[in-house]
Amino acid sequence: MHVVNTHDLTKIYDNRYIALNALNMRVEKGQVYGLVGPNGAGKSTTFRILLGLQKPTAGSIQVFGEAMGAERADLRRRIGYLPTNPTFPKTMTPIGFLQFVGSVLGMPRDRAKIQLSRLLQAVDLTNAASQPVKGFSTGMLTRLGIAAALMNDPELLILDEPTSGLDPAGRKQTIELIRELSGRDRTIIIATHILTDVERVCTDVGIISAGRLIYSGPMADMRRLARQGTIAVEIEGNTSAFEQEIPSLDEFGSVRYERLGSEFRITFLGTRSLTDYLQRVLQLIDRTGVELLHINTGSDEIEEAFLRRLEDDRTRGFLRAAAWAAALEGSPAEAHLDGGLSDDSPMASAAHNGAAGANGNSGPLAQGKGESADAGIHGHPSV
């Protein structure tokens, strides 16, 4: 069962600002799902709609298989939420606040007291348990927020920028805490723009940009992705001629490169296999008569893959359409669909059929899970 399932979720503020743009996101039970995106991408908006704090302009959202709304306190009882930079009533102590949370949740007083004691110990706030919150550091507020989110032992835990404003020690402590919380059938969704945190703790990742999910898949695929699509060569000789010919490596020009002296780091945005591109690079080396000193594929960091995904999303349009068409004409099975298209658009149908027809030959870029066409890109280097 999908714990969270959004379908074309759209949010437009004041008829002016599009915060979410037909977002399709699915989180399964037991996943630790990292929702990654730049500031203003729509992560917090997604959570607020997920919790019923805001209404979507269009589309739908289901939590635990049921539609979420402002009056669905029964669903929220199963959710724990840590907001960005949590705020608390200044005069309250951690004990007082957690008692209040317990009473709001309908917990018997005795059980609430046992639970809050355990949680304050787990988040290392026992020594500050009876101090007013107004004197707390950012790290302490975050830890109190995590304790409050766990009061009801939730099935779904939502953490919005849990390491925001923390020093390295605080971040490490928080990440360790999150790692301890995962498992036991608990689903965790973490929104962050810190990719190393995602890499450390998440099983799945979704990249959100300008309100759309442009990538969604297992963390393992993301790591594999990080090592594909880039070829670094170090050459000697007529490097200018080599540099001039680089755009011709892909028919549609979906290639970019960085030059550092005699080293060229060439990134391919097309749909061909890495082997194919590698052959073309070697042919180019041969054609231009340069001497190859060193060649390497991959070694991108996750961050590079993330940035590439974002840039790829920005430079789509005709490039993407052209690469699509090429993929459908008979090259191997990787129809990568634009997150903005709906299932019943002609291009989506054609892409589906093309992908289905050319199935066996996926190479290292295995097809993602069988999710719907408009869920963004599934564990693939995108077009």
Interface positions with another protein (CB under 8 A): 48, 51-55, 70-74, 76-77, 79, 81, 83, 86-89, 91, 97, 100-101, 103-106, 148, 152
Task: Write down the least CB distance from residue 101 to another protein, Å.
Answer: 7
Could you tell me where the DSSP H helices lie in 150-273?
168-181, 195-201, 219-226, 239-245
CB nearer another protein, residue 19 or residue 373: 19
Residue placing its CB nearer to another protein in the complex, 109 or 118: 109
Q: Is the CB of residue 59 less than 8 Å from the CB of residue 8?
A: yes
Q: How far apart are CA 68 and CA 65, in angstroms?
A: 9
Q: Which is nearer to another protein, 37 or 83 (CB)?
A: 83
Q: In terms of CB distance, is 39 or 87 closer to another protein?
A: 87
Rounded Cα–Cα distance for residues 371 and 362 (Å): 17
Extract the tokens encoding 62: 């289901």
Minimum CB distance to another protein, residue 107 (Å): 9
178 CA to centre of own chain? 17
Amino acid identity, position 309: R
Name the minimum Å distance from CB 91 to another protein.
7
Give the end-to-end CA distance of the chain in Å, rounded to a whole number. Answer: 30
DSSP run (H or E) holding 206: strand 204-209
Using left for φ > 0, alpha for ψ between -120 and 50, and beta otherwise, residue 224 falls in alpha
Element (H, E) at 268: strand 263-268
User: Please, what is the minimum distance in Å from the beta carbon of residue 111 to another protein?
Assistant: 13
For another protein, the closer CB: 141 or 322 = 141
Rounded Cα–Cα distance for residues 63 and 55 (Å): 14
Nearest CB to another protein, comparing residues 88 and 277: 88
Residue 141 Cβ, how far from another protein at the closest point, in Å?
Answer: 12
Minimum distance, C-beta of residue 199 to another protein, in the bound complex (Å) = 27
